[in-house]
Amino acid sequence: MSRRSFSALVAAFAALGLQGSAAPQPPAGFVAAFDLQSDDPLFGGLSAIEMSDDGGALTLLSDQGSYTTGTVARNSAAQITDVSLAPFARLKALGDAPLSPGRNDSEGMAIGADGASYISFEGVARLLRYKRLDGPAENLEGHPDFPSLQANSALEALAIDSDGTLYTMPERSGAVDRPFPIYRLRAGVWDTALSLPRTDGFMPVAADFGPDARLYILLRQFHGLMGFSSKLIRTTVGEDALGPIEVLVESAVGLHDNLEGLSVWRDGAGHLRASMVADNNFLPFLSSGIVEYTLPD
């Protein structure tokens, strides 16, 4: 997300604690929220999540160029009861050295059918490919628009379809009346035939193709002292346009923290499930949790 001053965030979330005691109610489909905790010095700033097909394992990405994997324990209702995380490791640059400061603002993650991981970056807008997350990066040729994307609001969301086509979009479009461009990389060629309309101040922060082959997009809105609200939408992807947009989840302001990552999968009962992870901005008074919803099929 765009970097806001520490004092502004402190004021915002301190104010949240002074508001009324009535908590907003979650919308339909809410499963549970699980608070992630770790003493790892690299823990925090979680910007992307990839859940395994059975919901029993995950990969997490931070927005400071590090990642971890873990196992997920669930009860009979498929609610998370425990998450065991491996130590965080730093993403590498093109060689053995880690990504350098200023070039490590990793935001979006997509894992292809071959197991390769793709990472999008917000600061210096670009995509990297990792055959293995613990190995060196490969540069993907960028779109000519990338250098001109708004500072600290560039390639926030990233998704890959079953054919290996990548879709990425910036957090900001550059104007309140301008749709969000969707950059599509297909067989090594970029196009911008697709775009996402702006609605009600929400901005895209994550995307994923579900097991139903539809595109899911997580959007977020910051309301200052009141906190965040989130919206999860679903659509289909055509050659030149997105299909009708369906709003699946829209949370009340302050219900969830700063949800930034999204993974859509199918649980053991056959229900579509969205797992979303919160970015705490490396601040001790914000949470790093996983929020899950079941979705209509």
Q: What is the pLDDT tens value at each position of the chain, 297 positions in all?
A: 544 443 344 444 444 443 444 678 899 999 999 999 999 999 999 999 999 999 999 999 999 999 999 999 999 999 999 999 999 999 999 999 999 999 999 999 999 999 999 999 998 999 999 999 999 999 999 999 999 998 788 999 999 999 999 999 999 988 888 999 999 999 999 999 999 999 888 999 999 999 999 999 999 999 988 899 999 999 999 999 999 999 999 999 999 999 999 999 999 999 999 999 999 999 887 889 999 999 998
Instruction: Tell me whether residue 1 is in a domain.
Output: no
Which residues touch 286 (CB under 8 Å, ≥6 apart)?
9, 13, 257, 258, 278, 279, 280
pLDDT of residue 2: 45
Give the domain CATH number at 52: 2.120.10
Instruction: Tell me whether residue 34 is in a domain.
Output: yes
- Give the full edge-to-edge strand order of the sheet including 259-266: 30-36, 288-295, 272-278, 259-266
pLDDT of residue 239: 96
Pair type for strands 80-85 and 126-130: unpaired
pLDDT of residue 15: 44
CB distance 294 to 78 below 8 Å = no
Domain of residue 213: give its range.
6-20+27-295
pLDDT of residue 175: 84
Instruction: Tell me whether residue 133 is in a domain.
Output: yes
Instruction: Tell me whether residue 262 is in a domain.
Output: yes
Instruction: Tell me whether residue 134 is in a domain.
Output: yes
Structurally, the chain folds into a number of domains equal to 1
CB distance 218 to 204 below 8 Å = yes
Instruction: Tell me whether residue 154 is in a domain.
Output: yes
Instruction: Tell me whether residue 40 is in a domain.
Output: yes
pLDDT of residue 176: 83
Q: Dig out the tokens for 287 from the structure.
A: 């949470």
pLDDT of residue 96: 96
pLDDT of residue 18: 39
Instruction: Tell me whether residue 234 is in a domain.
Output: yes
